[in-house]
């Protein structure tokens, strides 16, 4: 069996603390705990948001174009210094997590040197285009993405629903593998519910707290959350809003939803307490490939109202542990939220069902499966591709 030495190329590893960076950091730690050499390549900044795992080799990068989101960066390639690091490390497998210029250069390097290349699909890139006025290039974006990922031996996708969609855009079904996301069920637990925590934030014990957890950007359908909660709260004074997270949309959301409690960015025990001390999780985003926050909410014992879209619908069974609503439909989200709020007995059953389903997502089992895929890819011949 060939020695496994992994070079990981990613567009986000430590400069933004989000689902992608946290997942990849956990993965690198898992590899190192198994005694497997791994070297990470990606953009970074002077004061990164995350204390990263493993060794990170910086790639040249620029702020994400057209998005007005300077906190996100895009790799523009591989510097000579970074390439020399790659040569010295001598990887036997290259994992590309982002199809940017850095990922493209990594793919070319792997093919030139006969090194096996695999990838992971973390972000539903095309679903963001309309938020930046780029819908016209969606066809070209899909052409590039399908070409790029079909050039890899294996592609790891968070959910079956995401695989099903990718196949409709000419992704090679044979190479698509599920690498789901896991959850720390000891950390995110119903036992973390804290009435004093609620009271300190102005919630009564009898209130029904409807919570949103994510980075505060309009792409997450924040306005759908605002609308649905305000509509139901206007008829039921027990319904209250809790917003967890930070981001560029926060100040504007606070103006349109001043009655909500804004907890800011939370992690660890603080985040677990916020989830468990809530009553309903409402997450209307339809741009997720999986839905890490939804799984955390489920593990915390919350009924989840989410978009009937890729990622989320793989976690929520409609009417069992929550409800699915039509993406971008404020009316449907409002209707489904009213149904959950009004059915206290069913809400209790949904809480139990959420917790039970979350217990199946153990990180060691999930990451163990990905390591198995790595070893299988390592034994395959490197595809001959031409640029």
Q: What is the DSSP letter of 311?
A: T
Q: Is residue 384 part of a domain?
A: no
Q: Alpha-carbon distance 48 to 135, whole Å? A: 32
pLDDT of residue 129: 46
Alpha-carbon radius of gyration of the chain: 21
Judge if 206 and 175 occupy the same domain: no
Judge if 101 and 235 occupy the same domain: no
- Verdict on whether the full-model pTM lies above 0.95: no
Q: Is residue 134 part of a domain?
A: yes
- What CATH number does residue 325 fall under? 3.40.50.2000
Judge if 156 and 22 occupy the same domain: yes
Give per-residue pLDDT as tens, 271-287: 999 999 999 999 999 87
Q: Is residue 201 part of a domain?
A: yes
DSSP string covering 112-151, please?
A: HTT-EEEEE----GGGGGGGGT-GGGHHHHHHHHHHHHHT
Q: Alpha-carbon distance 10 to 102, whole Å? A: 8
Give per-residue pLDDT as tens, 196-241: 999 999 999 999 999 999 989 998 999 999 999 999 999 999 999 9
pLDDT of residue 365: 87
Residue ranges making up the domain that contains 230: 190-358
Residue 382 CB burial class (10 angstroms; 0-12, 13-18, ≥19): middle
Q: What is the DSSP letter of 327?
A: T
Q: Is residue 386 part of a domain?
A: no
DSSP 3-state percent helix, strand, coil across the chain (nearest 5): 45, 15, 40
Judge if 198 and 338 occupy the same domain: yes
Judge if 178 and 285 occupy the same domain: no
User: In the Cβ-directed half-sphere of 341, how many Cα atoms lie within 13 Å?
Assistant: 26
Judge if 150 and 274 occupy the same domain: no
């Amino acid at each position: 069996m060939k020695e496994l030495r992994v070079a990981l190329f990613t567009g986000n590893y430590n400069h933004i603390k989000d689902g992608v960076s946290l997942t990849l950091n956990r993965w690198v730690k898992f590899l190192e705990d198994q005694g497997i050499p791994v070297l990470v390549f990606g953009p970074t900044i002077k004061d990164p948001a995350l204390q990263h795992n493993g060794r990170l080799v910086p790639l040249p990068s620029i702020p994400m174009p057209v998005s007005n989101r300077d906190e996100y960066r895009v790799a523009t390639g591989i510097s000579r210094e970074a390439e020399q690091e790659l040569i010295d490390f001598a990887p036997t497998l290259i994992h590309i997590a982002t199809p940017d210029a850095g990922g493209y250069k990594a793919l070319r390097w792997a093919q030139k040197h006969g090194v096996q290349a695999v990838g992971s699909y973390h972000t539903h890139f095309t679903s963001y285009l309309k938020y930046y006025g780029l819908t016209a290039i969606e066809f070209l974006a899909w052409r590039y993405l399908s070409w790029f990922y079909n050039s890899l031996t294996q592609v790891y996708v968070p959910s079956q629903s995401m695989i099903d969609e990718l196949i409709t855009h000419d992704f090679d079904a044979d190479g698509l593998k599920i690498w789901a996301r896991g959850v720390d069920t000891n950390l995110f637990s119903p036992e973390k519910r804290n009435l004093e925590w609620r009271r300190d934030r102005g919630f009564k014990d009898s209130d029904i707290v409807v919570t949103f957890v994510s980075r505060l950007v309009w792409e997450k359908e924040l306005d759908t959350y605002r609308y649905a909660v305000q509509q139901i709260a206007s008829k039921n004074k027990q319904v209250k809003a809790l917003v967890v997270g930070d981001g560029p949309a926060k100040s504007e959301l606070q103006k349109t939803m001043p009655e909500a409690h804004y907890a800011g960015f939370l992690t660890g025990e603080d985040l677990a307490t916020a989830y468990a001390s809530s009553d309903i999780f409402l997450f209307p985003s339809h741009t997720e490939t999986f839905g890490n926050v939804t799984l955390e909410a489920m593990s915390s014992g919350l009924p989840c109202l989410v978009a009937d879209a890729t990622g989320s619908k793989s976690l929520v069974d409609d009417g069992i542990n929550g409800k699915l609503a039509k993406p971008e439909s404020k009316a449907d989200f409002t209707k489904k939220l009213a149904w959950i709020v009004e059915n206290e007995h069913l809400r209790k059953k949904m809480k139990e069902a959420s917790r039970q389903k979350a217990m199946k997502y153990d990180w060691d089992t999930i990451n163990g499966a990905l390591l198995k895929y790595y070893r299988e890819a390592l034994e395959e011949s490197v595809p001959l591709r031409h640029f």
